[in-house]
A and B are shown apart, each in its own frame.
Chain A
């Protein structure tokens, strides 16, 4: 066979729930591994924010939808020897299967590398898979496949309720769920069949242990299991939404080997080549087990396993799919041992999902068989308490861990108060939600026995006992404070004493053993302070900066007692062999730190990562972090990273010199600072989380590189920033601090509704909302105050019909070095993270562009910026107003960097290090092509969430495509984000008169399609008067016609523009929107986007849109 010289690697597209950053990690490792073998890699992935789509010598990047027609065009251009589908999630796998079915691979003589397509097909078809397992005497849960509702109902009767419904060919358990009766089954199956051709009805194994194995097999038949993982939540909660530990904690050797043997038997019988994930259900009272499913590709679990063990799974798998034997591959982590081994861990890794459900209006908080989480964290410790408490802090970004969730605080007597009736508690525990872990802790605090909780939740008693032990230590800390309090004859002197003095008195004299016990159980310094003070001052409410200060009292006392964490390596061999691994964590279960090899004499920087992915902080910031690390290395600096997100590239084993897989808390940053002693910290690369820490780090005298913390504060604090703008005579929307009722009323009187309500210091518009009347204003105000108690809530004028423009820039000591200006397709009012961006801007007058530039330069100068920054503007009637300024890298940095060909982060890194004066870089404008970035939404998975776009961000990912016209790039980009042109039927309901008017052209175009068009009465009347005939459906008959049309899949395109953001208006269209999304319709809730999309489609049909396929490299070289 011809040796492999060039391959196409399929990416996973935009991030969505169930398919997130883990595939950037796996794809990127694969690229590096393949290139090491001298193979040229061509990447097809429209996700411009990923590391894998960064242009590099010898690599080719195609920003196109991962769909057969586009991939075929790339095949025609590049003529690769093979295609690799195992590293781009379900998207890549589905694409490869279709490429094969359509005969495209055969036609072009392209080999599929890795597991054979027929096997992939078999693993994806649950019925075929079950048959093949049975043929090997491997037990699978009793199940039947159905492609129609009636068949599903009959199958459930045979198997017996409760049953579990699973959709075939779906990622993240989409459309899956439990059904206890035919009614529930009907609901689930209808939803699932809307997006999937087949469902599976299975025996319910609720309460069984869920265990996963990560397996690798080479083409010579050598197979190993790299890691096993056990779910804290028993079967019933999707593994992506479960707390997961690695390795398994409650399995005996017999059970471990039984499931391991079965995993190996499966990959051998299917002749898997590369990675495979096997999921099991294990009876908690016997050795009975079933295979639940397998994923014959890299997955979220394999990414987690890779970070949990340190074994570079994707790196090795990539070599295996090109035909190498596992025996001949070296473990790159040790350099001298074989990759053919099974890692031994000497720590416990705990993964906790990040849900971020509060960002979605109306969403159900229960978790189950459909994945809802949007990111995850991984915590490493040497005790269960240490790891789980770390994990909780990582996922809540709360220094005090689960104490932030005390919903049943102890009374002053030191006993817990029983406010919940046991029955209510039972219900809270029985239903899995995103907060169940905290409910369990609360129950334990109320002295509910772990056995009782076990009976209700089926969570293994070992885990519950582990939590109970932590609660006991918590009690011990509280008791100490109680004893101190009781020793005081009167409360009077206490009331007047300073908090720090009280804390000092309580904790002074605590033994070294006590300190060790507290820290080994995972309590942070701040949580110890909180526990103690809560006993003395039950209503103590302090600002964050005071807590930072108070925690230092604890830290000082602890250090005096000689209790400090040690650094340990994750080396894949549990210390059996010497290792040069730089993969580190901190623990209190240990006396001596591992020796860390450092190259002496280099300048050093510590980069803070962004933590878990969430709405508003995703892979784009990982790209920024990686670009920064690469530049640091290039400039000869030594780099350390702190991050806790297993789905990232920045936590890969050889991108930094020291990698601390740790919390991004002040306490931990101080610990790492003590070990590494870097020249300074870089906080500007990884989004809002590290940026928010900057003022506190400065408060603690930790040196920062880049922007001054005062600049950060001045930009983040609305009041200070506004004063700055006034001083610079830069326009801004009118605003007021919502301090008093009078101030609010006066502002409303002056400006009128709508009014924007927003807290300071927030990311992705959290709790930002538009008030349209007094009622909504009141509701939004209280919500905003809840989110940010420390900073004032701001009311500002809201502009209708204004254009939104963004400037991304890099400055050195106040001098703007490079700027990039993009414009939004949507008018102001849609969060910039959800908006469609065009870069370079196409429709701005030169004088507006100049104004934007000038304002950018002025702000950079005034704040003496030193690093990356982003400014958002409103443009209306020739006026340019500044809305906000982020003095850090923004979401659009990878987009403007890749489209302009100038890596803004590399430049920003040099500016931050500030070793020499840098020349300004001019971004060639206009370029011969442009990019359009669109948002990717995951509403299909978020049952109940309102898919309407507004000022609060809701997208989970993004894609961007290039073109020589906005039309070309927009069509590609929207297609890549899942927007499909109408083909079956359209439903239109447009809110206000002016929006209806702006849709005239679009509706005109729709009429030409000769497909059924429906509209609500007002909308239908409006267009009828203009000669456009739409079938009228009244709102009253919601529940009948409209719902039925969607349910019968007669519609595939829904235009629903709410009049405003009032509760009544939103709830009117809510049912239609959620139903449309559930049934896989394209939903448009924005006028400008709808208009541009339909016009572009029309021009394409007329042959006016060029459709060319070219690589990012070619574009940047100025191909045309």
Chain B
């Protein structure tokens, strides 16, 4: 359906639209048009090159605390669907969690008039409703180049008046997984195989796919004592930030690395698995954030197009004995997956659950479930 303002409203919006400023930790400032909430926030400035799927990206808990900029210049075209919270995991709404997780949004142009049969509101209205500030009208390509050449660039969105824009930037704080993880244990779906899903900020599409594969999923807070959990397989979810902040969880994972139950890690979950195995991680010079990252299955000439969103990687040289590289990035050669040579433990850096992005590696989750069955 059509969502958005009519011409007269737009005109009046235009007159009344207020400006907002993006202040960077390198001292640069850019002013644009305020969209969404009138609030001031601060965070790491990162970009995604995906051309579709802004609903998925904004609700992806892995972006928690970050200011997300879209390199595609026209965002909001198809509006935002109803969250379908009543059918939580099954909706086609494109929601990857129950709310916007990025702390701010930067776009070149936001579509004030959106249209799609599923659309319920515009991007701007959604941001307002969820109290997330954003700026439109910036030179996102130039900002992309700045981010690329300035590792760890932080930014502040300052709405309306520019007061407070001269404050010192906070040192990047540790992201506590508690802010994105489920507060309580809960069971979703019915099935003969019970998957324990350690929620470090899980994307709903992981849950949807497990349920599609006829699993019963027990969603666990990230700090759960895993020895108390009864399951036939472990899935360590994606999530935000530096894996080394997952402290306690790394130790917990060490304990579940036994031969009887398969473990599968995705993104942050994969990094945690690697740390538990004894490998090391480091921050990437350029994070991978987009839908066009190509990886290859090590030892073959088979490639896969993957959706990625990470700023850290596992260092190949630190892989302990018994572990092998599984996937590698075709461009920078970084590790994209590891597997144990004899135990059913493996993980991938990219997102087989996609959402948004290509779904070419869906088979990984299927294989993981099959492994449990056999």
Contacts and interface: CB of A to CB of B under 8 A. Distances in A.
A755 interface: no
A343 interface: yes
Contacts of A328: 301
Contacts of A344: 49-51, 71-72, 290-292
A802 interface: no
Interface string B284-310: 001000111110100001110100000
B335 interface: no
B64 interface: no
A40 to B, nearest CB: 27
A472 B11 contact: yes
B87 to A, nearest CB: 15
A1072 interface: no
Interface in B292-343: 292-294, 296, 301-303, 305, 330-331
Nearest to A256: B52
Interface stretch (A15-23, A584-592, A678-686): A584-592
A76 interface: no
Nearest to B149: A578
B56 A342 contact: no
Interface stretch (A189-197, A217-225, A666-674, A856-864): A217-225
Nearest to A326: B303
A821 B148 CA distance: 59
Interface stretch (A180-188, A246-254, A603-611): A246-254
B51 A592 contact: no
Interface residues of B, number: 59
A260 B307 CA distance: 14
B294 A576 contact: no
A576 B286 contact: yes
Contact of B331 (A248, A337, A345, A574): A337
B144 A576 contact: yes
A460 B354 CA distance: 27
Interface stretch (B240-248, B266-274, B357-365): B357-365
A284 B148 contact: no
Interface string A338-381: 10111111111000000000000000000000000000000000
B109 interface: yes
Contact of A340 (B2, B47, B49, B303): B303
B303 A327 contact: yes
Given A261-B359, A341-B292, A575-B148, A346 B114 contact: no
Interface in A457-472: 460-462, 465, 468-469, 472
B78 interface: yes
Nearest to B359: A257
A384 interface: yes
A681 to B, nearest CB: 28
B305 A589 contact: no
Nearest to A572: B292
A591 B108 CA distance: 11
Interface string B1-43: 0101001001100000000000000000010000000000000
A313 to B, nearest CB: 15
B140 interface: yes
Interface stretch (B115-123, B158-166, B209-217, B225-233): B115-123
A348 B74 contact: yes
Contacts of A248: 52
A384 B292 contact: no
Contacts of B357: 253, 257
Nearest to A287: B92
A255 to B, nearest CB: 8
Contacts of B56: 253
Contact of A451 (B2, B77, B301, B305): B2
B106 to A, nearest CB: 13
A48 to B, nearest CB: 40
Contact of A249 (B74, B142, B286): B74
B374 interface: no
Contacts of B49: 344, 346, 573-576
Contacts of B108: 382-383, 589
Nearest to B292: A342
B124 interface: no
Contact of B141 (A252, A257, A460, A590): A590
A1085 interface: no
A220 B303 CA distance: 9
Contacts of A336: 331
Given A222-B302, A468-B7, A343 B292 contact: yes
Given A328-B301, A342-B358, A576-B71, A592 B52 contact: no
B355 interface: yes
Contact of B294 (A221, A256, A338, A469): A338
Contact of A589 (B2, B73, B358): B73
Contact of A250 (B78, B145, B331, B360): B78
A287 B305 CA distance: 23
Contacts of A594: 141, 145
Interface in B41-89: 47, 49-53, 55-56, 71-74, 77-78, 81
B194 to A, nearest CB: 28
B77 A575 contact: no
A344 B290 CA distance: 8
Contact of B73 (A337, A348, A465): A348
B330 A342 contact: no
Contacts of A382: 73, 108-109, 141
A346 B73 contact: yes
A220 B291 CA distance: 22
Contacts of B52: 247-248, 251-253, 256
Contacts of A591: 30, 139, 142
B94 interface: yes
A325 interface: yes
Nearest to A344: B49
B154 interface: no
Given A327-B330, A472-B11, A384 B74 contact: yes
B356 interface: yes
Interface string A276-288: 0000000011110
A462 B118 CA distance: 14
A568 interface: yes
Contacts of B358: 257, 260, 342
Given A252-B78, A286-B117, A346 B140 contact: yes
Nearest to B114: A462
Interface in A680-716: none
B117 A257 contact: no
A1017 B52 CA distance: 68
B78 A589 contact: no
Given A383-B74, A591-B139, A253 B302 contact: no
B113 interface: yes
Given A462-B78, A576-B148, A594-B141, A472 B301 contact: no
B111 interface: yes
Given A285-B117, A346-B72, A462 B290 contact: no
Contacts of A221: 302
A340 B139 CA distance: 29
Interface in A80-105: none
Nearest to B144: A575
Nearest to A347: B73
B292 A284 contact: no
A592 B302 contact: no
A1096 interface: no
B115 A462 contact: yes
9 closest A-B pairs by CB: A253-B53, A575-B144, A461-B115, A344-B49, A253-B356, A574-B71, A465-B113, A342-B292, A592-B142
22 contacts: A252-B94, A252-B116, A253-B355, A253-B356, A256-B53, A264-B360, A287-B92, A325-B301, A326-B303, A327-B330, A328-B301, A336-B331, A338-B294, A346-B71, A383-B74, A462-B113, A465-B111, A574-B71, A574-B290, A576-B49, A576-B148, A592-B139
Given A342-B292, A462-B115, 5 more contacts: A257-B358, A325-B301, A326-B303, A344-B50, A462-B114
